[in-house]
Amino acid sequence: MNKKAVFAGTFYPSEPDELKELLNSLKDNKTIEYKSKAIIVPHAGYSYSGHAAMAAFQYLEPSENIFIIAPSHHENYTNIALPEYTYFDTPLGSVEVNNRLIKDISSKFPCIVSNVPFENEHSIEVQLPFLQYIFYPQKQSAADFVKTITQLGKRLKIIPILVGKCDYRLIADIIAEYWETSSFVISSDLSHFYTQGQCRQIDTYTATIIETGKIDCFEPEQACGLIGIKGLLEFANNNDSSLIRIEMYNSGDISTDKDRVVGYGSWFLYPDTKNHFIKKFYKNYLIETVRQSILYAINGEDYVPNSIPAVLLEFGASFVTIKIDNQLRGCIGSIYPTKPLILDLIDNAKNAGFQDPRFNPLTIEELEDIHISISLLSSIKSIKFKDEKDLLSKIYPYGVIISEHDKRAVYLPVVWEQLPDREIFLNSLKEKAGLPPNYFSGTFEAYKFTTTDIREEENA
């Protein structure tokens, strides 16, 4: 039994050639260094959210089984719905449903098996042409053709899931159960029908939650596919993974209607921290950004990069350290993320070069001799301790912040290289805060963090 395409001609073109042409125009020809087994994508009309969706699908790892987990916009039921269809049709052909896995899921998880919720639902249908276009392109390079030879006879199969009223942990459990043999598409738009200014505020907050994994901070109106998003975040948190931003904008950026806009965003799952991803793929970019920021500042100008990767628009905290002949020449940073990471780096680069109160501003003559290093900070966690001895047992090898009333100081983890003794480390930090080295009290507070360090020699 085939599920006919209902939204061809409205959400996307009904003519195959026109659809292929549109999909081709949405594709970014940049090299994708990393393929992910899970993405979050919007599901509006292609003229609105198509760019964000295509950007995400380009990161999706090929798999025989593609789960598409989407919200039900029209039918009310508990838990999830699975289809009885054998194929889903699009103008580009038919996509097979893995009925074996449908049966397996229905035997393990609470659900209904019915075609009714799928009949007039767009949140799954609009994803299918992207899958067909990305995984079975009409034109391939010789290298790509050789790669796909191993996939002959292994056409992708989809597992469509429409989410009703359920606990997000049900989705997390399904992802975990089939993770090894599948890839996952979480279908969701962001905020709906606010003014453009309100939409940007709400979606920025939503993005921050997605990117920090703070599931409990979500509110239902932030995204129509919120349960699916929360399920993927729960899986990510349980597996020390992160969601990396790809695109985020809203319909007001495309149309003239700024009063009732819809937000769109896309992310992919990365099996490590965001900072690890940034270091692996953007360390050259960061070093160059810091250098250019210092160069522009010495001429009294502000540096603005021409093209900024979306992951660097996520809020982040950083330190920039400048050395000459291995001697400190300036170091300024942020403890808490208060702005997009790219802006934090630009500001800290200028401040390290020209505003560190311990040093005179850099001169033009010194620029050729400076050596740059960058520290990307993790989230800050409070250290619970009974007394100073207990605190000393918990501070290594972390970056440490101490606070006592209006006095505060921070040491990056790299300081352990100069002060390896815990007591000397802590006493020195107290003195930096303006406290006696033997000071301690019942109101003394301490926090820890880690850093991902990028040093200029790694840029060679």
CB-based contact 135:198 (threshold 8 Å) = no
- Predicted confidence at residue 137, as pLDDT, reads 61
Burial class of residue 208, CB neighbours in 10 A (0-12, 13-18, 19+): middle
Q: What is the largest CA-CA distance in the chain?
A: 78
Which pLDDT belongs to residue 31?
Answer: 78
Q: Please return the burial class of 185, using the count of CB atoms within 10 Å of its CB with bins 0-12, 13-18 and 19+.
A: buried
Residues 6+ apart with CB under 8 A from 233: 210, 213, 215, 243
Determine the pLDDT at residue 139.
43
| Confidence check: pLDDT of 246 > 90 | yes
| Residue 223 to residue 229: CA distance in whole angstroms | 9
pTM: 0.88
Query: Would strands 87-90 and 318-324 be described as parallel, antiparallel, or unpaired?
Result: unpaired
pLDDT band at 15 (very low <50, low <70, confident <90, very high): very high
- Confidence check: pLDDT of 394 > 70: yes
Q: How far apart are the first and last CA of the chain?
A: 58
Q: What is the pLDDT of residues 309-331, one digit of tens each?
A: 999 999 999 999 999 999 999 99
32 falls in which pLDDT band (50, 70, 90)? Answer: confident
Residues 124-159 pLDDT 10s: 999 999 999 999 864 444 454 455 444 434 578 999
Residues 437, 450, 327: CA angle, nearest 5 degrees? 65
Please give the full DSSP string across 333-350, using - where no structure is assigned. E-SS--SBHHHHHHHHHH
Contact 68, 122 (CB under 8 A): no
Q: Would you say how long the chain is, in residues?
A: 460
Provide the mean pLDDT of the chain. Answer: 93
Cβ atoms of 377 and 316 within 8 Å: the answer is yes
> What is the mean pLDDT of the segment spanning 245-270?
96
- Domains, in order of start, for the chain: 2-272 (3.40.830.10), 276-377 (3.30.700.20), 381-452 (3.30.1490.150)
